[in-house]
A and B are shown apart, each in its own frame.
Chain A
Amino acid sequence: MKWPLHDRAIPDRKIPLYNRFYLHAPRASHVDPVMVWGTEIDADALTSFLRERNRGGRVLLTTAHALIRATAVALAQFPDMNVRVVGRRVYAFRQVNIRMGFVHRGSREIDLLVVRDADAKSLEQIGLEVWERLLQASRGTGPRDRDRARLRRIPGFWFRQVLRIYGFVDRHVRLPTLGRLDELRGGGAMVNDLSFPGAPPMRSYKPTRFPDQADSLNLTLGPIESKVVARAEQLVSTGVMPLFLRADHRLVDAYQVGRFLAVVRDLLSHPERLDLPAGADATTPANK
């Protein structure tokens, strides 16, 4: 049994008043605390870095692995973003765990995985772990796959009741994780790499929230596009990737979202910094 959240909630006096307006707003107010901030990253730098690393590395690295690492490093730098709401209280996560969505090739549906302590793992370690999970899922042989198969056998009526009760309890009580299926609640940030070949240009994207409400942040990377930009007073064509961050106004303000996103963007645009050891300052002075 693991407790993904710290024992005590963050005291109200430490939560900014504006966030508390959202946190304690009555349902009748139809409050919408979801914020989305979209930006772009320098795709040329990221693809060159991955190409170089994939010349001789032990593990095939992708943009998804870079996104996991960048999000984890940024979360370690901004621990006030690694939190979730339970009832009307805010709790901090014990670890920097990152969830990732992927296409489950065995069942042909979307599934999620969690990379634990992602801020303490190298890009290669993250890559190995993700590939291991993807291969397990493609064969349907992973322990989590057996749990999913059991869940699938629950009749529709009972599935809905279980989900309702579980959802209610999870929203109001600081629960431990008991099994492989609810371990996802241990990750406060979710990443989604939608830069697959053939994906249409992404102008806007609003990531959804999961019913478990533990994923307080979602970062989604879109496909590469060519764009003409001004550099040293010259117009040049460069590759860019859209990056969207969904956050929760009950927990953070727009300026925090902007600072956090700037660090993720900076890391992905200067990906050599993803190789720095955990705890090293990986940001440019402008983002401090």
Chain B
Amino acid sequence: MKPDRQRLEADLLHFVQSRGPRYAAVAPDTDLLDGGLLDSLLLTDLILHVEGQHGIEFDSHHVSPANFRTVSAIADLVLEQFSPRPPA
């Protein structure tokens, strides 16, 4: 089932903020890349968390800067997986 955007974003934000004091001030539009906050551990944990919560699966092609720059962008990526795809 397609998650509610607000709840999804709040869940992702809580997940990131709970990483420690460095992450406490992260907002939905905080640039995680420029701020040096997103490392491979957080990224894989985030993907694992989202996959577990929503039953979707990402592959390495999803790991782009645009998709993981902000919490808001990650929420967009998750919601995108529920959108009907155009026929190939």
Which residue numbers of A lie inside 8 Å of B, CB to CB? 47, 51, 54-60, 62, 64, 102-103, 105, 127-129, 131-132, 134-135, 137-139, 196-198
| Chain A residues within 8 Å of B48, by CB | 105, 138-139
Asked if A105 and B45 sit within 8 Å, CB to CB, the answer is yes
Evaluate whether A134 and B64 lie within 8 angstroms (CB atoms) in the complex, with A197-B37, A197-B39 already known.
no
CA distance A128 to B33 in the complex (A): 17
Asked if B58 and A135 sit within 8 Å, CB to CB, the answer is yes
CA distance A105 to B40 in the complex (A): 10
Asked if A57 and B64 sit within 8 Å, CB to CB, the answer is yes
Q: Chain B at the A interface: mostly helix, strand, loop or mixed?
A: helix
CA distance A196 to B37 in the complex (A): 9
Asked if B64 and A62 sit within 8 Å, CB to CB, the answer is no
Chain A: minimal CB distance from B32 (Å): 10
Chain A: minimal CB distance from B19 (Å): 9
Which residue numbers of B lie inside 8 Å of A, CB to CB? 20, 22, 33-34, 36-41, 43-45, 47-48, 51, 58-61, 63-66, 68
Chain B: minimal CB distance from A91 (Å): 33
CA distance A57 to B64 in the complex (A): 7
Question: Count the A-B residue pairs with Cβ separation under 8 angstroms: how many?
Answer: 63
Other than the given A59-B60, A62-B39, A134-B44, 11 more pairs (CB < 8 A) read: A51-B33, A54-B33, A57-B65, A58-B64, A59-B64, A60-B63, A102-B40, A105-B44, A135-B44, A138-B44, A198-B22
| Chain A residues within 8 Å of B58, by CB | 135
Asked if B65 and A196 sit within 8 Å, CB to CB, the answer is no
CA distance A56 to B59 in the complex (A): 19
Evaluate whether A197 and B22 lie within 8 angstroms (CB atoms) in the complex, with A62-B40, A103-B41, A139-B48 already known.
yes
| Chain A residues within 8 Å of B59, by CB | 132, 135
CA distance A131 to B39 in the complex (A): 12
| Chain B residues within 8 Å of A103, by CB | 41
Asked if B51 and A139 sit within 8 Å, CB to CB, the answer is yes
| Chain B residues within 8 Å of A196, by CB | 39, 41
CA distance A12 to B68 in the complex (A): 53
| Chain A residues within 8 Å of B60, by CB | 59, 128-129, 131-132, 135
Asked if B65 and A128 sit within 8 Å, CB to CB, the answer is no
